[in-house]
Amino acid sequence: MQFKINGKAVELDVETDMPLLWALRDELGLTGTKYGCGVAQCGACTVLLDGEPVRSCTLPVSAAIGRKVTTIEGLGGKSALQKAWIEKQVPQCGYCQSGMLMAATALLARKPRPTDADIDASITNLCRCGTYPRIKSAIKAAAKL
C-alpha cells in the first residue's frame, strides 16, 4: 500500500483492514496521534486525509491508499495555531491535543475566519479537562479574529 504521510511517500505491507492509527503508530513510529476510545467518538486519533479531519482509530489503512495523510508531526510545531495553543495555555493533561489541533487546522484551512458557530460545529473532539473556551480562544487568535 502506498500513500503520502506528512509529504513523504511511504509503502506499508500490512493488512488492508488495519486501522490507520495502528499503521501510523506501530508501523511508522508516528506516535503523536493518540488512541482514545477506539470507536471514533473522542477524536484523540484525528488526522487529516486529503485535508479533511478523520478519526484514524476506525478508518482502515486501505482508505489512505493514494491519498495524503497529515499527522500532528506534519505540522512541524511552528504553525500559527500551535503558537496560539501555547499562548492561550490550551493544554492541561494534553492527551487530546494532537487530535484537537488537527481538527482545528482543517477548520482554519476551510474557513480562515470561523465564527463561534463554525468552531462549535467543526470541533467535535472531546477534552476531559474541559479547555473548550481556551481552544476557541486559540483558534480565534490563530485566525486573527
| All residues at 6 or more sequence positions from 10 whose CB lies less than 8 Å from its CB, including other chains | 2, 3, 4, 28
Query: Tens digit of pLDDT per residue, the chain (145 long)?
Result: 899 999 999 999 999 999 999 999 999 999 999 999 999 999 999 999 999 999 999 999 999 999 999 999 999 888 899 999 999 999 988 899 999 999 999 999 999 999 999 999 999 999 999 999 999 999 999 998 6
- Cell numbers placing 14: 500490512
**50 φ/ψ sector (left φ>0, alpha ψ -120 to 50, else beta):** left
Q: Which domains does the chain have, with CATH numbers?
A: 2-74 (3.10.20.30), 75-143 (1.10.150.120)
φ, ψ for residue 92, nearest 5 deg: -115, -85
pTM for this prediction = 0.95
